[in-house]
Amino acid sequence: SGPASLAAALYGARTKIRTVVLKGNQPGGQLTGTSYIENWPAIKKIRGIEVVKDFEEQAARFGALMVGDSAVSIDVAEWPYLVKTEEGRELRALAIFVGTGATGRRLGIPGDFEYWGKGVTNCAICDAPYHKGDIVAVVGGGDSAIEQSLELSHYAKEVRMLVRSDFLRASPSMIERLDACDNVTIIFNTSLVSINGSNDHVTSVDVINNKTKEQQRWEGVRGVFLAIGHIPNTQMLEGKIRLDTNGYIELNGRAQTTSLPGIFAAGDVADPRYKQAGVAAGDGIKGGLDAVWWLSEIGYNTQVERKLETAFF
């Protein structure tokens, strides 16, 4: 029930296709973990939870059925595909849109969960503008960490990129781009130990040098940006549709179709590159349309719909 799925559901429901949304364990997805969104096209500033609420109501108004339950398995051995849910529901689906998103890796250290959305985040594009003149820490040594550091360098006074080893996983071309930023420092062999704060915002971090084991408190750090990778939520699809080596769903060219007919995907579960709510919504629309067109190609029409209505709903 993130932006990809809700956009797909809107397009499915508006075309009068019986559309069921399994909302999952975190209804609204990652958007509900952010504070304000300032990059949702045409809306200057809005809370993430409000976008989700409006999105849900809009899809529901056209007939999408919102179900507070989670898919636990998808059986693709027979068609219509069988989706089983946590609460024991069994749904036979002619088409499935997968918008299960990705879960940002977390550190699991003190303060990580407590200050999430209050200075701790994994989205510099979303939150960098709130850190004008601040000292911020970015954790990770991959392309995302560099991307977040570059984004933050436009706003923050000082960006400290913490790399746990003495090695950057990022690509040379990304590393080169850091040369032009004199307010970004890479600090190797260093990990966060705790994130500290008061009155709902981060005020300092404790770090450890992994070689010397020396610990320090850095006062004045106002933001912690985690860039330690994402895990796409594709566990129930392993061995069923084509995934890339990192577990993301592979799509066919510009379409949101997957390696199995009738299964469509969009959003972070199929997109290791952009990871933006707006992109997920746009690709969700494409996925919804791809599903509608595919159903129409295989003969779905109002008569079929009426039969399904009596037999299944």
Residue numbers 63-122 binding ligand NDP by CB under 6 A: 105, 107
Size of the site for ligand NDP (CB under 6 A): 18
Task: Pick the closer one to ligand NDP by CB: 229 or 247.
Answer: 229
DSSP string for 154-213: TT-SEEEEE-SSS---S-HHHHHHHTT-TTEEEE-SEEEEEEEEETTEEEEEEEEETTT-
Kindly name the residue from 54, 69, 75, 126 that is annotated as catalytic.
Answer: 126
CB 192, min distance to ligand NDP, A: 8
| Per-residue mark of binding to ligand NDP, 205-244 (x: CB under 6 A) | ----------------------xxx---------------
3-state secondary structure of 25: coil
Between residues 8 and 162, which has the closer beta carbon with respect to ligand NDP?
A: 162
Distance CA 313, CA 307 (A): 10
123 is catalytic: yes
Per CB under 6 A, contacts with ligand NDP among 254-273 are: 272
Going from the C-alpha of 133 to that of each of 129, 152, 161, 209, 313, the distances in angstroms are: 10, 10, 16, 26, 56
> Which residue's CB atom is positioned nearest to ligand NDP?
142
Tell me the closest approach of the beta carbon of residue 176 to ligand NDP, in angstroms: 12
Closer residue to ligand NDP (CB): 145 or 207: 145
Token pair belonging to 256? 């949101």
Q: Is 181 a catalytic residue?
A: no
Q: Which stretch binds ligand NDP (CB under 6 A): 6-14, 58-66, 129-137, 141-149?
A: 141-149
Distance, C-alpha 253 to centroid of its chain: 21
**Nearest-5° angle of CA 141, CA 232, CA 286?**
115
In the complex, minimum distance from the CB of residue 87 to ligand NDP, in angstroms, rounded to a whole number: 33
Name the residue among 198, 203, 199 with its Cα closest to residue 221: 203
3-state helix vs strand vs coil in the chain, percent to 5:
30, 25, 40
Distance CA 233, CA 268 (A): 9
Checking phi first, is residue 108 left (phi over 0); if not, alpha (psi -120 to 50) or beta? Answer: left
The least CB distance from residue 189 to ligand NDP, in Å, is 10
Question: Residue 228 or 260: which CB sits closer to ligand NDP?
Answer: 228
Looking at beta carbons only, is 60 or 228 nearer to ligand NDP? 228
Q: Which of 127, 271, 283, 290 is catalytic?
A: 127
Whether the bond between 80 and the residue before it is cis, its omega within 30 degrees of 0, is yes
Nearer to ligand NDP, 144 or 256 (CB): 144
The yes or no reply on residue 165 touching ligand NDP (CB under 6 A) is yes
Quote the CA–CA distance of 132 and 153 in Å, as a whole number.
Answer: 9
Which among 61-69, 86-94, 135-143, 248-256 is the span making contact with ligand NDP, rule CB under 6 A?
A: 135-143
Active-site residues, by number, are 123, 126-127
Residues in contact with ligand NDP by the rule CB under 6 A: 105, 107, 139-145, 147, 164-165, 169, 191, 227-229, 272
